[in-house]
């Protein structure tokens, strides 16, 4: 394997943008079969370069451990043979998704005689900024290529060798298919100055998509002149209605669902942050809390939920006001008792926008919750962990958008496209 430092000198970020813009012109007209072929070639290269990629990743993991990075970040960074095979399989899964590019609305003949329609087209050039998951490099590249977009990727400094090896595999696949390497490019220099240059490349980049914590999103929004699609941050609530605690089987179901929402992947943006409990559902709280505590969760409780847990001999810490509206991304959850649906809706309106769930057997309550809660995803009697591109039928996602313009929720192939008007005429002029 060639060491990273032996590779050619880094191109400037502007150079990457120029190459990406030229590649985007090629990709926008690429037939679906060619896009499928390049994704299949990428999967093959990932498998064929297994030893090289894993060796590069091992260098990153070793450096991360030496630098004292937190274990959750090291875990997200680490690749093994099974994980790499999963990445390759995900690329193949994207290649089997319907291609949205070229979809057209039915023509509408206007009184002037012109025929108008809207056609779906790629966004153009994407800039994606993310942190320690090297699989994101490949996932985003696959989604960008399948949707006809070029992409400039800026991973964290902890992934520099992994991303170089993955970029090499992708470039080999592009070359084998006769496509420009500018279609997928990694910014090798991890300095923040390079990220700032990407954020201000508004003459060459069409959209910035950050994937990471709230600090990264704020930095991008505050410094970018390129439009930023904000996603992946926000508080996840579950409201446990009294009607869902009348039967022992429902209480058990609630406990299992709430545990899944918090414990299955606590670092995910769609993991539970705050559990709201109807005051007449407090009798079910000990069983629900016990399931969370057995999963290693630290509970931060308001006075009424604390009293309920104390009486059951279950540990909890007093919640502070700042513990509500907090995205924990860890095995921590806050608890709050509410008087009913009205107070729950008010609380979510003040603190939510990502994924919000109601557990209820009352159809009217469910309908009102779905109607009134203004979040990227609203769920009834299901874990918030389903707010995920693959789980919702998109195949994969670049990010989960929590803003309202252009895209909202998981961003798959369709969300990486836009539309243009097509007008067909026979010499009409406007009077």
Q: What angle do CA 291, 76, 400 make, to 5 degrees?
A: 80
pLDDT at 339 over 60: yes
- Provide the pLDDT for residue 128: 95
For the chain, the structural domain boundaries read: 4-232, 236-386
pLDDT tens by residue, 210-254:
987 778 888 999 999 999 988 667 899 999 999 999 999 999 999
Domain 4-232, CATH class in plain words: alpha beta
d(CA 125, CA 342): 44
pLDDT at 183 over 50: yes
Identical fold between 4-232 and 236-386: no
Percentage of residues of the chain with pLDDT beyond 90: 80
d(CA 202, CA 225): 6
Q: Do residues 357 and 239 lie in contact, with contact meaning Cβ atoms separated by under 8 Å?
A: yes
CB atoms within 10 A of CB 342: 11
> Is 9 or 388 the better-scoring residue by pLDDT?
388
Number of helices and strands in the chain (H, E): 14, 16
pLDDT digits (tens, 9 = 90+) for 370-396: 999 999 899 999 999 999 888 887 777
Instruction: Extract the tokens encoding 408.
Output: 């909202």
Q: Which of these, 145, 173, 182, lies nearest to 21 by C-alpha position?
A: 182
358 within 8 A of 268, measured Cβ to Cβ: no
CATH entry, 236-386, from 1.10.443.10, 3.40.190.10, 3.40.309.10, 3.50.30.50: 3.40.309.10
| Low-confidence winner among 7-11, 53-57, 202-206, 397-401 (lowest mean pLDDT) | 7-11
pLDDT, tens digit, for every residue of 403-424?
778 888 888 899 999 999 999 9
């Amino acid at each position: 394997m060639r060491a990273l430092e032996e590779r050619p000198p880094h191109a400037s970020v502007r150079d990457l943008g120029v190459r990406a813009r030229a590649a985007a012109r090629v990709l926008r007209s690429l037939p679906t079969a060619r896009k499928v072929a390049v994704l299949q070639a990428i999967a093959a290269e990932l498998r064929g370069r297994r030893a090289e990629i894993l060796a590069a990743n091992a260098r990153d993991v070793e450096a991360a451990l030496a630098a004292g990075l937190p274990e959750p970040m090291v875990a997200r960074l680490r690749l093994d043979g099974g994980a790499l095979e999963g990445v390759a399989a995900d690329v193949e899964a994207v290649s089997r998704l319907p291609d949205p590019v070229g979809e057209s609305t039915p023509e509408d003949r206007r009184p002037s005689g012109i025929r108008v329609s809207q056609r779906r087209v790629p966004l153009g050039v994407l800039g994606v900024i993310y942190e320690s998951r090297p699989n994101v490099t490949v996932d985003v590249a696959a989604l960008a290529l399948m949707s006809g977009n070029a992409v400039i990727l800026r991973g964290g400094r902890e992934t520099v060798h992994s991303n170089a090896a993955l970029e090499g595999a992708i470039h080999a696949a592009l070359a084998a298919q006769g496509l420009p390497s500018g279609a997928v490019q990694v910014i090798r220099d991890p300095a923040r100055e390079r990220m700032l240059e990407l954020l201000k490349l508004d003459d060459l980049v069409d959209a910035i998509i950050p994937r990471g914590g709230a600090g990264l999103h704020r930095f991008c929004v505050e410094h970018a002149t390129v439009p930023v699609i904000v996603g992946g941050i926000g508080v996840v609530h579950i409201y446990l209605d009294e009607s869902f605690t009348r039967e022992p089987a429902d209480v058990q179901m609630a406990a299992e669902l709430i545990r899944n929402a918090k414990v299955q992947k606590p670092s995910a943006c769609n993991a539970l942050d705050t559990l709201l409990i109807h005051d007449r559902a407090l009798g079910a709280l000990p069983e629900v809390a016990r399931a969370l505590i057995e999963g290693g969760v630290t509970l931060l409780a308001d006075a009424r939920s604390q009293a309920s847990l104390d009486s059951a001999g279950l540990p909890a810490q007093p919640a502070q006001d700042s513990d509500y509206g907090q995205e924990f991304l860890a095995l921590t959850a806050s608890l709050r008792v509410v008087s009913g649906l009205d107070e729950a809706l008010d609380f979510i309106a003040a603190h939510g926008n990502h994924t919000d769930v109601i557990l209820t057997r009352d159809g009217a309550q469910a309908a009102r919750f779905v109607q009134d809660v203004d979040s990227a995803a609203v769920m009834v009697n299901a874990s918030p962990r389903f707010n995920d591109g693959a789980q919702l039928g998109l195949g994969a996602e670049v990010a989960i958008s929590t803003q309202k313009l252009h895209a909202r929720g998981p961003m798959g192939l369709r969300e990486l496209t836009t539309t243009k008007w097509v007008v067909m005429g026979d010499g009409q002029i406007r009077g």
